[in-house]
Amino acid sequence: MQILPPATPEDVQLTRDGRLRHFLDIKGLSKSLLTEILDTADNFRGIGDAQVKKVPLLRGRTVVNLFFENSTRTRATFELAAKRLSADVLNLDISASSASKGETLRDTLFNLEAMQADAFVVRHSDSGAAHFIASQVTPNVAIINAGDGRHAHPTQAMLDMLTIRRHKGAFEALKVAIVGDILHSRVARSQIHALKTLGAGEVRVVAPNTLLPTDIESMGARVFTDLKKGLEDVDVVIMLRLQKERMDGALLPSESEYYRYYGLTRETLSYAHPEAVVMHPGPINRGVEIESSVADGPRSLILDQVTNGIAVRMAVMSMAVSGQTQQNAA
C-alpha cells in the first residue's frame, strides 16, 4: 500500500519565515528558493578541489542515511556531502535492522531520535514515505527525500538543474527533452516541476504510450511518442532508464525493440540542436536507452551530474538543518 503525500507539501517543507525545513518535493517550492539552492551548491563546488575537502557548517551534527531501498550512487553522494560539511554520518542497513525483525517504522524513528540525530536522508519504495516521516519526527529533525516510490526525487532534479545552468546559463530560452520510462520515474516528475518553476522555455517528454502517465500534460510538458520529433532542436536531452523493477506486466515487446525506437544514438542525437548536451541520472543501461559512444562522448554531462550531486546535497542539508535550528529558536 502506498503512503499518500499531504495535500500541501509546501507547508511541511518550509519554516514560518519561508526557509527550508525539510526537502521532500520540488512541487510547491518557489523559484527564489530553488535558485538559492543552486547558488549555495555552486559555492560548495570548489570544496572538492581543495586540499582539505571540508567546511565546519554541520560540525557536531548527526546525519542518518535511512535507506529502505538500495542505491549505491545516491547513498554514497549523500554520505560524502554530509562528511564534507563535517557532520557525523550513520548509514542504517534496513535489511539488517530491527525493522526486518518486525519493528514499526515509527518505533525505528523514535529510537533514532533518541540518539539525537539532526537529519534523516530517506529513500523508500512507497510514494509519500518521506512526507509521512516528516509528519512523525520531532520538530528538530530535518527530513531529506532521497527518492520515494514513483513520487519524487528532488535532490536528483536539483543536481540536474545545476548541471544545466552551469552549461547552458538561463533556463528561459531552453528546450529540454526527457526521454524514456516517464511512467515509473520519480526523477522525471521532479525534473518537470523544477524546469517549469525555473522558467524553462519548453519541457518535452518522449516515450511510448505505455510508458506515459495519464496526467503528464497537466504538469506542463509536451508529449511526443516519436523520438526524432521529440528531439528536434532541443538544447538538453535527459535520458531515463527502464525501471523494470516497478513495471507490472509486459509494457514493452523487448529491450532491443525499445532501443530501436527510443535509444539515444549518434544518429538520433543529430536531430537535437548542434550544441545540445546529454544527461542521465544513472545507472546507465548501455544499448538499452543510450549508445556508449553518446554516453561517453563530448556532449555527455553524466559525470558532471555526479560531481554536482555532492554540491547540491551539501546545499540542501546545510539549508534544512539551519532552517530547523532557526525554527526551533523562534
The answer to whether the beta carbons of residues 324 and 19 sit under 8 Å apart is: no
Which residues in 88-213 belong to E strands, given as ranges?
A: 88-93, 119-124, 142-148, 175-179, 202-206
Angstrom distance (rounded) from CA 278 to CA 264: 9
Helix (H) or strand (E) holding 76: helix 72-84
Annotated binding site for carbamoyl phosphate: 73-74, 123, 153, 156, 282-283
Say what the pLDDT of residue 113 is: 82
Cβ burial of 114 (10 Å; 0-12, 13-18, 19+) is exposed
End-to-end CA distance of the chain: give it in Å, rounded. Answer: 38
Annotated binding site for L-aspartate: 101, 186, 241
User: For the stretch 185-219, what's the b/e string if a residue is b when 16 or more beta carbons lie within 10 angstroms of its beta carbon?
Assistant: bbbbbbbbbbbbbbebebbbbbbbeebbbeebeeb
Sheet of 88-93: strands edge to edge? 88-93, 62-67, 119-124, 142-148
Q: Global pTM?
A: 0.91
Number of CB atoms found within 10 A of residue 10's CB: 15
Reference 16, options 139, 176, 106, 98; nearest CA is 139
The full set of domains in the chain, from first to last, is 9-153+307-329 (3.40.50.1370), 154-300 (3.40.50.1370)
Give pLDDT tens digits for 246-296: 444 445 667 888 999 999 999 999 999 999 999 999 889 999 999 999 999
Say what the pLDDT of residue 38 is: 98
Crossing angle of the two packed helices 72-84 and 154-168, in degrees rounded to 10: 70
Say what the pLDDT of residue 7 is: 38
Say what the pLDDT of residue 173 is: 94
Annotated binding site: 73-74, 101, 123, 153, 156, 186, 241, 282-283
For 38, the grid coordinates are 543552486
The answer to whether the beta carbons of residues 294 and 300 sit under 8 Å apart is: yes
Say what the pLDDT of residue 329 is: 52
pLDDT, block means (10 residues), the chain with 330 residues: 44 87 95 98 92 93 90 91 96 65 73 87 91 88 94 97 97 97 94 98 96 92 98 98 58 80 97 98 92 97 96 97 64
Say what the pLDDT of residue 71 is: 82
